[in-house]
Amino acid sequence: MGFRVQRSDLYGVVVDQDEVIQNQFTHLLPNLTTRRELGQGKSLGLNYRTNTTEPTINQMSPFVDNSNPLNIFVGNPGLIPDYRHIVSIDFRSFDRFNFTNLFVSLRGTYIKDKIVSSQFVNQQLQKVHTFVNSDRAWNSNLQVTYGRPVRMIGARISITGRAGLSESSSFINQEENVSRISTTSANIALDNRIKEIFDVRGTVNLSYNHTDYSLNPALNLNYLNTTFSARGSYYLGTSWTLATDLSYSLYDEEVFGDDQNLMLWNASVSYLMTNNLTEIEFVAQDLLDQNEGINITNAPTYIQNERIESLGRYFLLRIVHRLGGPRNR
């Protein structure tokens, strides 16, 4: 347990304006970290900390930037730093006799005076951008991970669930737009325990996202994405390795459109030379030539849907020489 005092001095000169921007901020930042053992292989931890984020010179500059006549930017010299309270609690359990593990983590953040975007349209139909302080900002995250052996098939299963909820605000035409974003995901993985001859792993991942906007409910968004993946390596003696991985991603048709599902298949063969320092590997990437980046971003003031064209199918010969010790498989 302790605290520290943080002093920030902000100083800048606006070029060609002969104007100095200067401000000083002082904050008391307490913190607390503790962990208690609850028994053999079990513990409970608590962490509390605080920090601040100061506004930048650009955000505080009072001069109008009209380099784009339709999108004008003007800073806010009255901005103050935001102040963040971050609390996390975790529980850890590991049974060394049956190799079962459990990890639970809960984390929450409250941001006071968060610096957020403010936009409005003036009488000349120009969009004006600036920044203001807002108290409405917080987020929370929960993660649960459980793993144990499945002795009947010589494998190990791992299950991870995550849930997140956040709320923040921005201002549009002087009205507060509150955005609430929730995310939920589940991941199930199964892999073999004895890896001397082969190493295989299969995974299923589901991700659900929900976004609400207070000013424009028509932009509310819900979508579910699912990914199936598998990878495997087969060791031929101590020198040769055959490896492959395959993933199939299903994207929500209502958001991403039809025929956006992707299957990616990679493969490789490698040879480790007798000195155990040099490895020659031939790699085939995206054998089905379907690779395309798909990403959607939910922000308080916009929704961004990206399609990224990638290199596609290609082949690579790689030679790696290790300057340190020999490679351990």
Give the range of the structural domain holding residue 240, as residue numbers without chain letter: 136-321
- Judge whether 261 lies within some domain: yes
All residues at 6 or more sequence positions from 47 whose CB lies less than 8 Å from its CB, including other chains: 32, 33, 34, 86, 87, 88, 89
Q: Is 135 left (phi over 0), alpha (psi -120 to 50) or beta?
A: alpha
- Judge whether 216 lies within some domain: yes
Domain count, the chain: 1
- Judge whether 265 lies within some domain: yes
pTM of the full predicted structure?
Answer: 0.80
CA distance 63 to 61: 6
- Judge whether 22 lies within some domain: no
pLDDT, one tens digit per residue, over 184-223 is 999 999 999 888 899 999 999 999 999 888 888 888 888 8
- Judge whether 9 lies within some domain: no
CB 95 within 8 A of CB 106: no
- Mean of pLDDT over the chain: 87
Instruction: Report the share of the chain in percent with pLDDT over 70.
Output: 89
The pLDDT-based confidence of 100 (bands split at 50, 70, 90) is: very high
Between the two ends of the chain, the Cα-to-Cα distance in Å is 43
CA distance 93 to 130: 48
Lowest-confidence range among 71-80, 185-194, 223-232, 300-309?
Answer: 300-309
pLDDT, residue 54, reads: 87
- Judge whether 47 lies within some domain: no
